[in-house]
């Protein structure tokens, strides 16, 4: 019985902090995903611009 009374307050105090950390982890994953996607998008746009630039320069020569 004393074991149960010791464990109860620990569970009550740990649960909200765990929930907060999982939310923070979820938002961290979302932010990293968005950064990754935007980075890839900008790289693809830059590559397309370079290809287009090369194509137009070949066309004029």
Tokens representing 60?
Answer: 């004029």
Q: What is the DSSP letter of 49?
A: H
Is residue 10, in this structure, part of any structural domain at all? no
Is residue 40, in this structure, part of any structural domain at all? yes
Domain that holds residue 38: 24-60
How many structural domains comprise the chain? Answer: 1
pTM for the full predicted model: 0.43
- Hey, CA dihedral for 24, 30, 31, 33, is it positive or negative? positive
Is residue 32, in this structure, part of any structural domain at all? yes
| Three-point CA angle 16, 21, 28, nearest 5° | 150
Q: pLDDT means per 10 residues in the chain (61 residues)?
A: 54 57 83 90 87 72 53
């Amino acid at each position: 019985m004393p074991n149960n009374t010791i464990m109860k307050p620990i569970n009550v105090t740990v649960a909200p902090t765990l929930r907060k950390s999982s939310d923070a982890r979820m938002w961290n994953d979302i932010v990293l995903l968005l950064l990754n996607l935007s980075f890839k998008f900008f790289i693809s746009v830059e590559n397309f611009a370079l290809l287009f630039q090369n194509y137009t320069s070949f066309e004029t020569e």
